[in-house]
Amino acid sequence: MKTRTAILPALLLAAGPASAACTFEIEVGDSLQYDTRTMSVDADCASVTVNLRHTGNLPAAAMGHNWVLTTPEDVQGVATAGIGQGLENDYLPASDERVLAATSIVGGGESTMVTFSLDDLPGQDRPYTFFCSFPGHYTVMQGTLTVD
């Protein structure tokens, strides 16, 4: 009994920092989904790196994916503005302050990555949304990133 009460708080403390990270490996394929829906970034990270790997077979022109970070309110606006920019611009508006971080678009067998600083993220007390800006994907391909 005495041992149990001593161990439990220690486990709870260990669970917090262990679940947050600075580097993330995310996989996508020939369907409209990321292999993760939630990302927990450690607030102490000097920088955050997202590695995106497309394990499918379809080319970027048909089933391209990227990883774009915005506030939840800006998802639709950025995705809509990006459609007209074309694949060569990764379906993202150029120099748009709403885009907090973004990778390029990749197709099957390709990988991409982005590194950013937490200093570039405003309002870290609430969650951000990551999504794919390939036309038609953002409504389904979304997840939540929190700074913990």
Say if residues 40 and 144 touch (Cβ distance below 8 Å). Answer: no
State the nearest-atom distance from the C-beta of 105 to Zn ion, in Å: 8
State the nearest-atom distance from the C-beta of 47 to Zn ion, in Å: 25
* Contact between 75 and Zn ion per CB under 5 A: no
* Contact between 91 and Zn ion per CB under 5 A: no
**Per-residue interface string for the shown chain with Zn ion, residues 9-48, x marking contact by CB under 5 A:** ----------------------------------------
Burial 100-134 (b: 16+ CB within 10 A, else e): bbbbbbbbbebebbbebebeebeeeeeebbbbbbb
* Contact between 138 and Zn ion per CB under 5 A: no
**Rounded to an integer, what distance in angstroms lies between the CA atom of residue 68 and that of residue 139?**
13
* Contact between 137 and Zn ion per CB under 5 A: yes
Which residue ranges make up the site for Zn ion (CB under 5 A)? 65, 132, 134, 137, 141
